[in-house]
Amino acid sequence: ASAPMSLLAMLRRSPSVPLIGRSALSSLTPCAPLRRVCQLRGQQLRPRSATSAGFCSSASTPAKSSLVAWCEANPMKLGIGIATVKTQVADLLTQTALEGKAFKDIDWRRNVVFTIFGFGYFGCAQYYLYVNLFSRWFAGAARFVNQPLSAKLRDYAGQRAAAAQILFDLLIHPQWVFPMYYTLKQAVGDFDSFVRSPWSVTKTAVGKYWKNNFDTTNEEGLLTDWIAFWKIWVVGDIIVFGFCPMWARLPVNHIFSFMYVCVLSFMRGS
């Protein structure tokens, strides 16, 4: 027993041999490796949890909502759906709010005219015209509308393309829109005659359109339908063809179209 005690005394007196403290001894215990592994795992997990939190916070504020994504992916369905409902509702609003009709007195045949016109022309035909044909006829239309305003001001070719689209819509487009509307209205109003003699009904409808707009004896004056059209669409076309991306072209167009259909229904619906 005296030998170990003398050896311990020598270790305490020798400056070259350090004493084994509690911290050093703890590293030699059987639990030390497990404790060390836990410490390392904790250091590895901390940054991962921070990264996950950052990911969750960015996911909670997505750049685009699912609704906008669907609109961009399905522009034709969106445009046709809005056009059909919008045109029908605009006529109903005109009959009830502007003309003061009770719901039981609504002219449903007239409303059918606007619903068909909304689906067939404002929806299907205008989508093909504004999105497909205008993109081919007016090169750079899609590129121009997707630029910021500062770039638009320097893009003279894009400005000319936008101006050409606006002039086309204001001066050429109505040349077949009005005859089509008058013909559809005449056909639905006198469907039996249209089945027996479609050309005769079409001729009568076009004659009414001509009288309302180009007959100098007309009490309403010349170009009545055209002037009402321009009052809404000059501003509308500048916004649609100058600032709207291609996927939003028809939806924004329908906002102005709703106002115009109310005017058309009030003027030529009865």
Q: Out of 24-28, 107-111, 243-247, pick the least confident.
A: 24-28
Of 214, 191, 208, the residue nearest 267 (C-alpha): 208
Residues 126 and 52 placed together within one structural domain of the fold: no
- Cα separation, 203 vs 217, in Å, equals 20
Torsion of CA 248, 249, 250, 255, to 10 degrees: 90
- The H helix count followed by the E strand count for the chain is 16, 0
**CA nearest neighbour of 129 among 253, 263, 223:** 253
Measured between alpha carbons, how far apart are the two ends of the chain, in Å?
124
Look up the domain containing 138 and give its range.
66-268
Residues in the chain: 270
Average pLDDT over the chain reads 80
| Same-domain check for residues 22 and 95 | no
Structure token digits, residue 20:
């084994």
Task: Express each pLDDT in 191-237 by its tens digit.
Answer: 888 888 999 999 999 999 999 999 999 888 899 999 999 999 999 99
User: Do 46 and 89 fall within a single domain?
Assistant: no
My answer on whether 22 and 71 are in the same domain is: no
Residues 50, 17 within the same domain? yes
Q: For 109-134, what is each residue's pLDDT tens digit?
A: 999 999 999 999 988 998 888 878 88
Answer for the pair 90, 268: CB distance below 8 angstroms, yes or no: no
- Shared domain for 6 and 108, answered yes or no, is no
Q: DSSP letters along 189-230, please?
A: HTHHHHHH-HHHHHHHHHHHHHHHHH-TT-TT-TTHHHHHHH
18 class by beta-carbon count within 10 Å (0-12 exposed, 13-18 middle, 19+ buried):
exposed
Q: How far apart are CA 72 and CA 68, in angstroms?
A: 6
User: What is the C-alpha separation between 21 and 7, in angstroms, rounded?
Assistant: 17
Which domain-ending residue is among 38, 59, 80?
59
**Co-location of 168 and 245 in the same domain:** yes
User: Distance (Å, rounded) from C-alpha 180 to C-alpha 152?
Assistant: 36
Q: What is the mean pLDDT of residues 126-145?
A: 85
Q: Which of 44, 59, 74 is the last residue of a domain?
A: 59
- Same domain (yes/no): 256, 134: yes
CB 95 within 8 A of CB 107: yes
Same domain, 26 and 77: no
Say whether both 119 and 231 belong to one domain.
yes
User: Average pLDDT, stretch 241-254?
Assistant: 83
Residues 213 and 262 in one domain: yes
Angle of helix 174-189 relative to helix 249-268, nearest 10 degrees?
50
Question: Where residue 253 falls among pLDDT bands split at 50, 70, 90?
Answer: confident
Last residue within a domain, chosen from 14, 44, 59: 59
**Hey, what are 21's tokens?**
């403290």
The tally of domains found in the chain comes to 2
Pair (83, 24) in one structural domain: no
CB atoms within 10 A of CB 11: 12
Is 91 within 8 Å of 261 (Cβ atoms)?
yes
